[in-house]
Amino acid sequence: MPNPKWLPLSRLPILDTSSGDITAVIETPKGSPNKFDYDDGVAAFRLAGVMPEGTTFPYDFGFVPSTLAEDGDPLDVLVFLDAPVVVGCVLTIRLIGVIEAKQRKKGERWIRNDRVLAVATHAHTHEHVRSLDDLRPGLVDEIEDFFRHYNEMKGTEFKPVDRGGPKKAQKLLDQATAAFREKQEDDGKAG
């Protein structure tokens, strides 16, 4: 019999109950040429795509649970950590900024698809990083180029529109949390 306290990863509490830090779930580890997506319907990770030879994710990539971004998925997060973690790892993070972006498939309308950037609370190498300004020069440009190229390979146009620091990232997180709660309430009323 399933544990009545069991929750799908996408519905974990947004804050870690023991530390009060923000929770993140990693879908695709740093260095992986494979893109994984969490499938809430089966509570498992699915292979979503394979990138061309020599192309890999620059850092661990996943989502913040119990959020709903404008693209209809949980809020995306790119996590800086000393070494890659496994698919499905749940960890805690500190927000350092955001790449605000929009994307679209050819012939379709633009949709916001921001990328929150964060440091794992257990990181040593990036322990000093508190904002995008603390990263080495040019790194955020490289990350934006990665997402442009990655989306282009999928036939999607990705366009960064702005950058922001931890306060802007927190504001996006708050909006995505409110949107998730509103959807949960609406789904409860409909059910």
Q: Strand, helix or coil at 61? A: strand
Q: Which pLDDT score, from 0 to 100, does residue 4 have? A: 53
Q: Which pLDDT score, from 0 to 100, does residue 188 have? A: 76
- Pairing relationship of beta strands 34-39 and 156-164 according to DSSP bridges: unpaired
Position 119 confidence tier, pLDDT thresholds 50, 70, 90: very high
C-alpha closest to that of 158 among 148, 150, 166, 168: 148
User: What are the φ/ψ torsions at residue 63 (nearest 5 degrees)?
Assistant: -145, 160
H or E element that contains 168:
helix 166-190
Has residue 1 got a pLDDT over 50?
Answer: no
Has residue 98 got a pLDDT over 80?
Answer: yes
Spell out the domain ranges in the chain: 16-184
Kindly report the CATH number that applies to the domain delimited by 16-184.
3.90.80.10
Distance from C-alpha of 50 to C-alpha of 33, rounded to nearest angstrom: 6
Position 124 confidence tier, pLDDT thresholds 50, 70, 90: very high
Q: Which pLDDT score, from 0 to 100, does residue 18 have? A: 87
Mean pLDDT of all residues belonging to the chain: 93
Question: Could you tell me if 56 and 33 are in contact, meaning their C-beta atoms sit under 8 angstroms apart?
Answer: yes
Quickly count: other Cβ atoms within 10 Å of residue 79's Cβ: 26
Share of residues in the chain with pLDDT > 70 (%): 97
Has residue 2 got a pLDDT over 70?
Answer: no
Whole-prediction pTM value? Answer: 0.93
For range 80-108, the mean pLDDT: 96
Q: To which residue do tokens 């809430």 refer?
A: 40
Q: Which pLDDT score, from 0 to 100, does residue 3 have? A: 54
